[in-house]
Structure formats: structure tokens, C-alpha cells
Amino acid sequence: MMKSFPLLFALITAPAFAENLVITTEDYPPFNMTVSGKISGISTETVEEMAKRAGVGIAISLYPWERAYNMAQQDGKTCVYSTTRTTQRESLFKWVGPLVNNNWVLYAKADAKAVGKLEDTKAAKIGGYRGDAIANFLKEGGYKVEETNNDSQNPEKLLAGRIDYWATGEQLGAHLAKQKGITGIKPVLTFKETQMYLACNKGVPDAVVTKLNDALKAMVSDGTVAKIGKKYQ
């Protein structure tokens, strides 16, 4: 059997606290992504600084989302970000955050008619990706979701007319469209306001979760979180 390796690996040590955590993430710019071969992004820098202040050693690895998420569910010392905190996920993890806001939007072709409310798209084909909270939300609501392995495939599918709408995070959608040079699409509806967190396995000690949350609160208070966010605007 071939061994599976993470796509990218970054190690940050903080020996002041004995508990070391495995941190998993996905490529979800501008929150978590690779820049010049390094895991970066708004959430990544926030998690790194938070762990440093809390004295918690962390090792960050980047995987496809479903694997990153499943690892945090299965391993007692693993956390995953950036994870949307939903009712369905609430009892599955211990939560650190919020790290960032992430509104959910629908994109359509530039010449598409206006969308008044999400329910108006019940008969439409909506693009999403497997394991994503947005896609899961829509499927549970009875919407027709065509899922890809990666959200980066959806802007081109939308432009080609293979889907009617693309459901994605507000900042991610803008980033992917710009990255691919796609200009013939536009956001037509913001249908949910959400926040994303670091979601930790329930085996992670409460003391560790508390230290991380306390460090994050201090970062919000002293302006560090806002400063990190401005770097990616």
C-alpha cells in the first residue's frame, strides 16, 4: 500500500506548554492557502500567533478538506481550520474562535437576473464542493447541488453554463475568480452570515482550548487580528 503524505507541512514549536497539537487545513484562500510554498493566509497567521501566545506547540498540514476534517474528528490531538461552526457540527468538536467572518454568497453569470432570496433557486443547479458546509447546508435544504472535489473548478463551470449558480464564501469566490482571470460572473445574493473557527477534537484538553481562546481574545483586543486581515485585502 502506498503511503499518503500531506501536500505541505509547517512546524511551529512552543515548548512552554507540554501539549502539542496537530493542525489540519485546506486550500481556502485568503484564509488558508499556500504562498511561495508556505502555508499562509488570514486564519493561518491568526492560528500561528494564537498558539505562540498560548504556549502551545502546533504542526500545520494542508490536505483536501474532507481528509483534514475527518482527521480532526478521529484523532485526539488534532484540530482543523477554517471550520464553519454549524448546528450539525456543534457537538463534534471543542471550538476556538471565531477566527474570521465568512458570508455565503451565490455567484451567477454577469447577465443573470437578480435573485431575491435563496428559495428562488430551488429548481437551479448550484455548484459546491464535497464536504463543504455550504454544500451540506444546501443539500439539507433540498437544493440541487453539483459537487466537485475542489471549489476552484466551479467558476469555470458557471461561466460554461454547466451550473446555474455557484455557492461559495464571499472572499474565496472573489479570490478564485481573480486567480483564474474570470470576469463574466458576479455575486447575486448573500444568503447566510457565518464565522469560521479552529475546531478541535473532543480529546483536546479543556485547558488547551481555554488558553487558545484567551490568546485569541487578547489578539482581538490589541488589534493583531485586524492587522492580519488587512494584509490580505
- Pick the closest to residue 71 from 132, 117, 12, 6 (CA basis): 6
pLDDT for the residue 233: 82
Buried (b) or exposed (e) across 18-40, using 16+ Cβ within 10 A?
ebbbbbbbbbbbbbbbbeeeebb
> How many Cβ atoms from other residues are within 10 Å of residue 205's Cβ?
13
Distance between CA 144 and CA 141 in Å, rounded? 9
Q: Per-residue confidence at 13, pLDDT binned at 50, 70, 90?
A: very low
- Give me the mean pLDDT over the 138-146 stretch: 98
> How many Cβ atoms from other residues are within 10 Å of residue 97's Cβ?
21
Structural domains in the chain, sorted by start:
8-101+196-231 (3.40.190.10), 104-192 (3.40.190.10)
Q: Per-residue confidence at 114, pLDDT binned at 50, 70, 90?
A: confident
Per residue in 37-86, pLDDT (tens digit) is 999 999 999 999 999 999 999 999 999 999 999 999 999 999 999 999 99
Distance between CA 73 and CA 92 in Å, rounded? 7
Sign of CA dihedral 49, 50, 56, 57: negative
In the chain, what percentage of residues exceed pLDDT 90? 89
Cβ proximity of 208 and 58 under 8 Å: no
pLDDT for the residue 18: 53
Radius of gyration of the chain (CA): 18
Q: Which three cell numbers stand for residue 136?
A: 451540506
Q: At residue 90, what is the residue type?
A: E
182 CB-contact burial (10 Å; exposed 0-12 / middle 13-18 / buried 19+): middle
pTM of the model: 0.84
Q: Which residues contact 3 (CB under 8 A, 6 or more apart)?
A: none
Distances from the Cα of 32 to the Cα of 2, 41, 43, 61, 100, angstroms: 27, 5, 6, 11, 11
